[in-house]
Amino acid sequence: ATSSSDDMYCIYLGKAVQTVNPPSGSVGISQLSATGTKDSTTFLRGDNTFAEAGGGKINQVLNSVATVNTSSSSDVELFNLSITPSSTSSKILAIVNVTAQLDANEYTSFDLYRGTLSSGTKVYDAGETLFNSADSTRLGYGFTYLDSPSTTSATQYTVVGSPHFGTITFGSTGKNTITLIEVLV
């Protein structure tokens, strides 16, 4: 026994631990406590359940390169593309690239409509996106937007040019593209 005036040091070495690797192929479904059904469409999750892969899968991709050459001082439809979602829970990722030629002190923006300018819903408003302080300059603009159309009907997306000052020449040169990607949720 130690007394209060003794210095004591204790070193605990612990228990002997052994690592055992089961032989390959010796652990089967019957040895697991996992729940759910194992088949070719499921995987074993970290919470010990079999489940189908979740959302975020790409179902379809549509792309259109548009020839645009129009001048306008008011809102104008530039180009469009339609997609038919496979589920009402699908989301549509729109990727748009547009060009315009602006004279000095002109500015414009681009919007995305689900449907058309006259009968659709504006889903993306870029605000005042392009401004030119020099003479006759060609400019490009791009944007992406993730939409939730909640339908399985063919859905048209229309790119609209919105001049805020001056008569803008849309397109004329450069690539004008729209890509629609259906993302399964």
Dump pLDDT digits (tens) for 164-175. 888 888 987 678
pLDDT, tens digit (0-9, with 9 covering 90-100), for 77-115:
999 999 999 999 999 999 999 988 888 888 888 999 999
Of the pLDDT bands very low, low, confident and very high (cuts 50, 70, 90), residue 10 is confident
What integer pLDDT is reported at residue 85 of this predicted model?
Answer: 97
CB distance 100 to 139 below 8 Å:
yes
The one-letter amino acid code at 176 reads: N
Q: Is the pLDDT assigned to residue 121 strictly greater than 70?
A: yes
Mean pLDDT of 42-58: 79
| CA–CA dist 110, 122 (Å, integer) | 11
Pairing of strands 168-171, 42-44: unpaired
Of the pLDDT bands very low, low, confident and very high (cuts 50, 70, 90), residue 59 is very high
pLDDT, tens digit (0-9, with 9 covering 90-100), for 128-137:
677 777 777 8
What is the rounded average pLDDT for all residues in the chain? 87
Share of the chain above pLDDT 90, in %: 42
What integer pLDDT is reported at residue 46 of this predicted model?
Answer: 79
Mean pLDDT of 140-147: 92
What integer pLDDT is reported at residue 153 of this predicted model?
Answer: 97
What integer pLDDT is reported at residue 55 of this predicted model?
Answer: 66
